[in-house]
Amino acid sequence: GAAEFEKMPIALAEGVASVAGPAWPIFAPFIGGFGAFVAGSNTVSNMMFSLFQFGVGSRINADPTWIVALQAVGGAAGNIICVHNVVAASAVVGLVGKEGLVIRKTLPAFVYYALVPGCLGFAIVSQGLLNLGSIALVLVYLGLLVFARKQFSKASP
């Protein structure tokens, strides 16, 4: 601008890049999901946060295209917990007034939906499959298997 300061998304990107560093791809989908939760749309989430994500990607020496792609995946995941989608779906199925419960029930699915591509993106950006991202991905899958097994054992007589 006229005062020769960086644009706000770029200034925020510098701070986040210095804190998260090369682990940022794991968190990038969660920013996309947060944007979709707040705005109610993946498109608007991408409009709000793409410059920020691009800036973080540039500052951590990762391909910014991958980081922005993780933003878009997170925005799609955020539609699971997006308030207006939950309100509309609750009204259709007769759960009016239980929107908070629906969001709490769908939150684990959102976390899984955002964490898996985040771990995979970290593995890709780090240019190797035997790293922290792939280990985290395996741990997420193992946790999901344990959770599913417990749920099925409760359901069977």
Per-residue pLDDT of the chain (157 residues; tens, 9 = 90+): 577 788 899 999 999 999 999 999 999 999 999 999 999 999 999 999 999 999 999 999 999 999 999 999 999 999 999 999 999 999 999 999 999 999 999 999 999 899 989 988 988 888 766 677 777 778 888 888 888 888 788 766 6
Is 80 within the bounds of a domain?
yes
How many distinct structural domains can be found in the chain?
Answer: 1
Decide: pTM greater than 0.95.
Answer: no
Does residue 1 form part of some domain?
Answer: no
Measured CA to CA, the distance from residue 3 to residue 90 in angstroms comes to 48
Query: 22-38: buried (b, 16+ CB within 10 Å) or exposed (e) per residue?
Result: bbbbbbbbbbbbbbbbe
Residue 50, domain member (yes or no): yes
How far is residue 44's CA from residue 42's CA, in Å, rounded to a whole number?
A: 6
| Residue 131 lies in domain | 8-155
In a domain, 48, yes or no: yes
